[in-house]
Amino acid sequence: MKTLTVDLGSRSYPIHIGAGLLTDQHLFKNIIGNRRPVLITDENIAARYLRPVADSWKIPESDHLILPPGEANKTLATLESIFDFLMKRRCDRKTVLIALGGGVIGDMVGFAAACFQRGIEFIQVPTTLLAQVDSSVGGKTAVNHPRGKNMIGAFHQPRAVIIDTDTLATLPAREVTAGLAEVIKYGLIRDADFFSWLEQNIDALQQLQPTTLIEAIAGSCASKSAVVSADETEQGIRAILNLGHSFGHAVETATGYQTWLHGEAVGLGMRMAADLSVLIGSLSADDAQRINRLIDRTGLPNQLPANSDPQRLLELIYADKKTESGTLTFITMNGIGNATINKGITDQQVLQTLEQFR
């Protein structure tokens, strides 16, 4: 098992990465202490992992909540159902919520924990590659709104993150590919050596080769932890973690959160960010080609969904929380491994980029 630390002073927490951790009773007892665990997951994850986790961690069936799966259910209505359950079960501030699942479950359970009784603890137990390398770390929690992704939420750090790499063995290939988008992102934003390592090892990652997988997850989590420790609430440098996300979130919102996985949208968004960076002269065409070649090898999308309207996507980008005072903010690249926050992008440059991917 590898253990990393997100350094936030008195609110620091560990990220444990390894095989077989879902049923590690000793690890769980050390983290939870004398708190009352309530396990929240979705129907897909429950069918595979609820029973072994609940049995190992001795969580009674009355403290299991199973939600409908998918991004389309990441809503205020689902959040209210979590609150209803916690109230009916007479949960209190000694309760700790266990978020067992992908990024949707992690975001919703984290947000519920941030709000219930003005804040209780929760533990992230991510079961998808995307959640393991990105959304489970850093304390961003939220639900979607029909007009924008993750527009209603809070910063609320977990008590711990438990990453069991065995869960990836049963992950659909499409979900693995979506997770690789976020892994590639870390190479693009701050670690050119990691990007080069990915060029050499992307095939092994797609095949879920164990040691390569753990190295990629640990490297991704270490990068994110460093950025979060420096800027917890995204007042500055943390924004670089949003590379490709302004474009990607617009695509997700335009398609009702039902057509593409988040990582697929981010994968295309990173291609667009590279194209935009070339357009403004901060990234060489050769580097953009390297980026596209690596993304191509994963099978991530290279075009917008059919019938996409660039003008509509631009409107959705303006509605995104990354826009400040009506000014577009994009993450662009000054080379591979060197992302920057750019507030000087024009509507025309965005539209020109979008048109390239129709």
Tens-digit pLDDT profile for residues 6-51: 999 999 999 999 999 999 999 999 999 999 999 999 999 999 999 9
What single-letter amino acid sits at 275? D
Give the pLDDT band (50/70/90) at residue 65.
very high
**Helix-then-strand count for the chain, H and E:** 14, 11
pLDDT for 19 equals 94
**173-356 CATH choice from 1.10.10.10, 1.10.3720.10, 1.20.1090.10, 1.10.287.90:** 1.20.1090.10
Specify whether 245 is catalytic: yes
Expressed in angstroms, the distance from the first to the final Cα of the chain is 44
Task: Inform me whether the pLDDT recorded for 323 exceeds 90.
Answer: no
Candidate list 190, 245, 264, 271, residue with the active-site label: 245
Contact 337, 187 (CB under 8 A): yes
Residues 6 or more apart whose CB falls under 8 angstroms from that of 342 comprise 280, 329, 330, 331, 332
Give the pLDDT band (50/70/90) at residue 319.
confident
Specify whether 238 is catalytic: yes
Contact 299, 233 (CB under 8 A): no
Give the pLDDT band (50/70/90) at residue 321.
low
Candidate list 121, 175, 232, 234, residue with the active-site label: 234
Can you name the CATH fold of 2-170?
Rossmann fold (3.40.50)
What is the pTM (predicted TM-score) of this model?
A: 0.93
Token pair listed for 283: 């990234």
Specify whether 71 is catalytic: no
Strand partners, 37: 96
Candidate list 185, 242, 264, 271, residue with the active-site label: 242
Specify whether 156 is catalytic: no
pLDDT for 322 equals 63
What single-letter amino acid sits at 219? G
Specify whether 147 is catalytic: no
Burial class (CB in 10 A: 0-12, 13-18, 19+), 42: buried
Check the CA dihedral 103-104-106-107 and report its sign.
positive
Look up tokens 């409908």; give the residue: 68
Candidate list 262, 264, 271, 342, residue with the active-site label: 262
Give the number of other CB atoms < 10 A from CB of residue 226: 15
Check the CA dihedral 315-355-275-217 and report its sign.
positive
d(CA 249, CA 255): 10
Burial class (CB in 10 A: 0-12, 13-18, 19+), 193: exposed
Return the domain boundaries, the chain. Answer: 2-170, 173-356
Task: Inform me whether the pLDDT recorded for 324 exceeds 90.
Answer: no
pLDDT in tens, 74-117: 999 999 999 999 999 999 999 999 999 999 999 999 999 999 99
Candidate list 159, 185, 224, 271, residue with the active-site label: 224
Q: Where are the alpha helices (DSSP H) in 152-261?
A: 173-190, 192-206, 210-230, 245-254
DSSP 278-307: HHTTSS-HHHHHHHHHHHHHHT---SPPTT
Specify whether 93 is catalytic: no
Give the pLDDT band (50/70/90) at residue 72.
very high
pLDDT for 258 equals 87
What's the rounded mean pLDDT across residues 58-72?
Answer: 96
Which region holds residue 299: left if phi is over 0, alpha if psi is between -120 and 50, else beta? left
Measured between alpha carbons, how far is residue 269 from residues 62, 85, 206, 328, 337 in Å? 42, 37, 20, 15, 16
d(CA 286, CA 344): 23
Nearest C-alpha neighbor of 71 from the set 46, 108, 38, 115? 108
pLDDT for 7 equals 97
Check the CA dihedral 280-285-290-295 and report its sign.
positive
pLDDT in tens, 111-138: 999 999 999 999 999 999 999 999 999 9
Contact 33, 91 (CB under 8 A): no
Specify whether 234 is catalytic: yes
Look up tokens 């951790």; give the residue: 21
